[in-house]
């Protein structure tokens, strides 16, 4: 087992222990933090104190042989291990009795100071059991260390007297003041929480009212803008209607002018048509005469072509007769040499 150390024998080092922590509140000094941890959380094996004044009790913290726990990654915290290795104490001196702490207290060191701080009676004995290497306290002390039934009567190494009862009362009063301070702080925190909740509710209500007012203002602005747009559209429609009527009047005037122009053109066209009709009649007569002349000329050309074709046919027929007569003559000369019968050729 490991034994608890008194606060004055605990070395503070930079860092925080790696155990399970429990917040003890805010205290003024790290010594006060250690006192509270030892008094209120006897099962804790380390205390941690922050630069902001927060005090923590550490359970199952890392244990090292040197009794120091270095945690360089957390320099804003300081930690103090309450347990050290179970190293045998020097041989106990003979028992003494005195109203004042004896020199044996200096030899016992941590055990004597531990009893001096935590004893509830006017006197206490520091005891040592060699076989188990454990320290035990007596004389109406609070149950800090567990007592096993198999423990034997230890050897008395020294007596310590002093104002232990007064110190215990002062410690208890300090604990009560600390508890009252914690309760006051908790009440203030609850009151602050309620005030904050009330402020939040008021803020939310103001925000909702502001949003409602803003929505109403926006809706009114939208209605005004829509009404203004309607008026502008009406004015624009009226202006466009006037422009359209003027445009239509101009179109009617232009159409009337065009009708008058068309009427004048129609009269001129009728005159021109009559003139053209007269000219066309003369042209038709001229065309008819030309057609008759062309037909007569064409008939002459046809007759001349017919005579040429007839003469050509006659010439071809006469040529065939000549060819036939020459052929018969050659045959006759071939059958009867010296006899020549020349046929009569038709006149052309």
DSSP 289-319: HHHHHHHHHHHHHHHHHHHHHHHHHHHHHHH
Determine whether 149 is exposed, middle or buried from the number of CB atoms within 10 Å of its CB (0-12, 13-18, 19+): exposed
Global pTM value: 0.25
Q: Which two tokens stand for residue 172?
A: 């208890």
As a whole number of angstroms, the distance between CA 217 and CA 166 comes to: 74
- Looking at the chain, list the stretches that DSSP marks H as alpha helix, in order from N- to C-terminal side: 30-40, 103-108, 110-118, 164-335
* pLDDT tens string 104-150: 333 333 444 444 444 433 333 444 333 333 344 444 434 333 343 33
Who's near 310: CB < 8 A, 6+ residues apart?
A: none
pLDDT at 97: 38
pLDDT at 230: 92
Q: Check residues 34 and 140 and name the one with the higher pLDDT.
A: 34
Q: Check residues 164 and 147 and name the one with the higher pLDDT.
A: 164
* pLDDT tens string 176-231: 888 888 888 888 888 888 888 898 988 888 888 888 888 888 899 999 999 999 99
State percent of the chain over pLDDT 90: 5
Q: How far is CA 348 from CA 232, 303, 309, 317, in A?
A: 113, 21, 16, 11
- Looking at 18-118, list the stretches that DSSP marks H as alpha helix, in order from N- to C-terminal side: 30-40, 103-108, 110-118
pLDDT at 347: 54
Q: Check residues 167 and 130 and name the one with the higher pLDDT.
A: 167
State which H helix or E strand residue 54 sits in. strand 54-59
* Cβ neighbour number for residue 247 with a 10 Å cutoff: 11
pLDDT at 83: 55
Maximum average pLDDT range among 1-15, 101-115, 246-260, 331-345 = 246-260
| Confidence grade of residue 237 (pLDDT, cut at 50, 70, 90) | very high
* pLDDT tens string 50-102: 888 888 888 887 653 333 444 444 567 777 877 544 443 344 444 443 333 33
Q: Which two tokens stand for residue 8?
A: 């004055």
Domains in the chain, CATH or no CATH each: 1-87 (3.50.4)
Determine whether 171 is exposed, middle or buried from the number of CB atoms within 10 Å of its CB (0-12, 13-18, 19+): middle
Lowest mean pLDDT among 3-17, 126-140, 205-219, 292-306: 126-140
As a whole number of angstroms, the distance between CA 80 and CA 30 comes to: 9
Give the β-pairing of 54-59 and 20-26.
antiparallel
């Amino acid at each position: 087992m490991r034994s608890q150390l008194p606060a004055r024998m605990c070395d503070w080092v930079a860092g925080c222990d790696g155990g399970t922590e429990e917040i003890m509140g805010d205290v003024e000094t790290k010594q006060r933090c250690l006192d509270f941890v030892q008094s209120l959380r006897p099962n804790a094996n380390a205390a941690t104190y922050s630069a902001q004044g927060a005090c923590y009790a550490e359970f199952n913290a890392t244990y090292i042989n040197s009794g120091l726990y270095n945690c360089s990654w957390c320099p804003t915290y300081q930690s103090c291990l309450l347990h050290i290795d179970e190293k045998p104490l020097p041989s106990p001196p003979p028992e003494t009795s005195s109203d004042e702490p004896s020199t044996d207290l200096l030899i016992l060191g941590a055990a004597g100071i531990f009893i001096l701080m935590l004893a509830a009676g006017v006197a206490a004995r520091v005891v040592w059991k060699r076989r188990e290497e454990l320290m035990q306290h007596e004389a109406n002390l609070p149950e800090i260390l567990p007592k096993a039934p198999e423990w034997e009567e230890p050897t008395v190494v020294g007596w310590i007297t002093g104002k232990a009862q007064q110190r215990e009362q002062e410690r208890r009063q300090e604990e009560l003041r600390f508890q009252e301070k914690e309760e006051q702080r908790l009440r203030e925190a609850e009151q602050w929480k309620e005030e904050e909740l009330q402020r939040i509710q008021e803020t939310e209500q103001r925000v909702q009212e502001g949003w409602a007012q803003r929505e109403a203002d926006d809706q009114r602005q939208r209605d005004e803008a829509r009404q203004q747009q309607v008026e502008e559209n009406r004015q624009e429609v009226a202006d466009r209607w006037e422009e359209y009527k003027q445009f239509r009047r101009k179109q009617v005037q232009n159409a009337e002018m065009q009708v008058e122009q068309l009427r004048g053109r129609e009269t001129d066209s009728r005159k021109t048509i009559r003139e053209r009709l007269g000219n066309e009649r003369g042209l038709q007569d001229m065309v008819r005469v030309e057609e008759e002349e062309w037909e007569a000329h064409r008939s002459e050309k046809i007759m001349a072509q017919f005579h040429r074709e007839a003469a050509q046919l006659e010439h071809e027929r006469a040529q065939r007769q000549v060819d036939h007569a020459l052929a018969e003559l050659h045959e006759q000369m071939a059958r009867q040499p010296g006899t020549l019968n020349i046929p009569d050729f038709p006149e052309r």
